[in-house]
């Protein structure tokens, strides 16, 4: 039951973010541009963790786009923008599709939320036709180092090699793989944190802060949408233990928030406050 409850919470959190997702998806858009530059989708395409949808209209050889997401709210947003797509509510770790039914797999910054990503990779192999294409962008270890330096808890993302090890030679031919940093900039700390929370994820203070604390509101510390966090104080959506640097003093009000903002200013670059993601890009084909 623990995993089912976790999945429900993930679905709720991302559904709540759906209407405003595209106000905060800077890194998602950059990643999508790089991912799509190396692909020529054909046939039946499955977009795993589709969010509010991706425009594939420039691909003339596509027959159908299936958008799969665990969050019904995201699927509703997708259908508003792309009424010709087919919406599937489901989990990447148990795809509601027949074997060898998909020609092109696409997933942009979604699979890192899986509790068991190797199971998800197995599902990709199951539904993809022999010779089919697989194009993935996944957040990996080393991401959000700026938040860690401030003492904020962040998800403990998998190492790139661990993910690559899940692509067995018997099922996959990896055509290209690389880990690339994607850095986005923000005017202030509040907008930086909302770039995470606004797409359905979140960040929380270190272990010295009481459970339920959230620094992204700008002054007062407030609870998350469920009024609590995990038992270890993290807000990691994939259920993994967050990586923690030395925690900051507990935020008690506006003065503590302003002190945190002042610390953040030391990181400012000419373009703004930086936030860096490490992204694993994988372009592979399914062996026959």
Model confidence at 129: pLDDT above 90: yes
Model confidence at 248: pLDDT above 70: no
Closest CA to 11 of 71, 67, 69: 71
Report pLDDT digits (tens) over 59-115: 999 999 999 999 898 899 999 999 999 999 999 999 999 999 999 999 999 999 898
Average pLDDT, the chain: 79
Q: What is the pLDDT of residue 134?
A: 98
Domains of the chain: 2-141+157-182+277-286 (3.40.50.150)
Q: What is the pLDDT of residue 195?
A: 78
Q: What is the pLDDT of residue 145?
A: 93
Cβ neighbours for 221, distance < 8 A, ≥ 6 positions apart: 209, 213, 214, 215, 251, 252, 253
Structure-token match 């003093």, residue found: 249
Model confidence at 238: pLDDT above 80: no
Q: Is the pTM of this model over 0.85?
A: no
Q: Report the percentage of the chain scoring pLDDT > 70.
A: 72
Sign of CA dihedral 90, 92, 93, 95: positive
Alpha helices of the chain — where are they, by DSSP H?
Answer: 2-17, 26-37, 72-81, 117-127, 145-149, 160-165, 189-197, 254-265
């Amino acid at each position: 039951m623990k995993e089912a409850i976790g999945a429900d919470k993930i679905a709720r959190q991302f559904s709540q973010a759906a209407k405003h997702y595209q106000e905060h998806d800077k890194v998602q858009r950059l990643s999508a541009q790089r991912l799509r530059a190396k692909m020529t989708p054909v046939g039946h395409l499955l977009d795993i963790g589709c969010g509010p949808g991706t425009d594939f209209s420039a691909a003339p050889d596509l027959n159908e786009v299936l958008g799969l997401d665990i969050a019904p709210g995201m699927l509703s947003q997708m259908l508003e923008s792309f009424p010709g797509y087919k919406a599937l509510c489901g989990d990447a770790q148990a795809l509601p599709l027949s074997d060898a039914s998909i020609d092109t797999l696409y997933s942009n910054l979604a699979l890192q939320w899986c509790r068991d990503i190797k199971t998800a990779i197995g599902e990709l192999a199951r539904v993809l036709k022999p010779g089919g294409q697989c194009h993935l962008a996944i957040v990996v270890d080393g991401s959000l180092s700026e938040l860690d330096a401030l003492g904020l808890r962040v998800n403990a993302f998998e190492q790139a090699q661990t993910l690559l090890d899940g692509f067995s030679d018997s099922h996959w031919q990896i055509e290209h793989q690389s880990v690339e940093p994607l850095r986005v900039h923000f005017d202030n700390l509040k907008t930086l944190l909302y770039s995470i929370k606004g797409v359905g994820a979140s960040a929380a203070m270190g272990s010295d802060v009481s459970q339920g604390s959230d620094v992204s509101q700008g002054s007062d510390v407030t609870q998350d949408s469920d009024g609590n966090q995990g038992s270890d104080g993290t807000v990691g959506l994939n259920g993994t233990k967050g990586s923690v640097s030395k925690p900051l003093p507990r935020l008690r009000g506006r003065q503590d928030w302003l002190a945190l903002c002042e610390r953040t200013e030391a990181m400012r670059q000419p373009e703004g406050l930086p936030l860096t993601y490490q992204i694993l890009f994988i372009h592979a084909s399914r062996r026959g």
